[in-house]
Amino acid sequence: MVVKKVDKLKELYEIDDYLWIEETVKLLKERRFDELDLENLIEELEDLGSEKRHKVESLLEQIIRHLLLLEYWQDEYDRNYRHWQAEIVGFRNQLNDRMTTNFYHYLEENLSKVYQKARKYVQAKSGLDTFPKDCPYTLQQLLDEDWFPIK
């Protein structure tokens, strides 16, 4: 029985996914498309897209968390405001480096969901229940490297 190259590649995926990636890239560069393990390639590309979407969502959540702490946790403000501001700057830089039109639209559509997760976190962290029910920030404000709530 002759084992096809595609079957060998599928086997390799189960044994060593990094080696599978290297071999897949090689096949793509050489335009040997008939030898590709399409099933696993599609799965990996879908996972990659999901990971990237999760990362930008996570960064946005971090920005919102720190803005809420900065704006509403008065008892900790003097001790922590510089740290919170620095965290916001860092998360904004990371998010803006990853931002694409598609991610922007995704975040715009999911801002309310991301805000609710951030709100729940800061309520647990601070013990406060003074945070707005709905997101008080626009996506443009959240991404703007120079924007902070007026104190």
User: 62-83 pLDDT, tens per residue?
Assistant: 999 999 999 999 999 999 999 9
Give the count of beta carbons closer than 10 Å to the beta carbon of residue 147: 15
Measured CA to CA, the distance from residue 97 to residue 89 in angstroms comes to 12
pTM: 0.85
Residues 6+ apart with CB under 8 A from 33: 27
Q: Where are the domains of the chain?
A: 1-36, 49-143
The per-residue pLDDT for range 18-61, each reduced to its tens digit, is 999 999 999 999 999 999 999 999 999 999 999 999 999 999 99
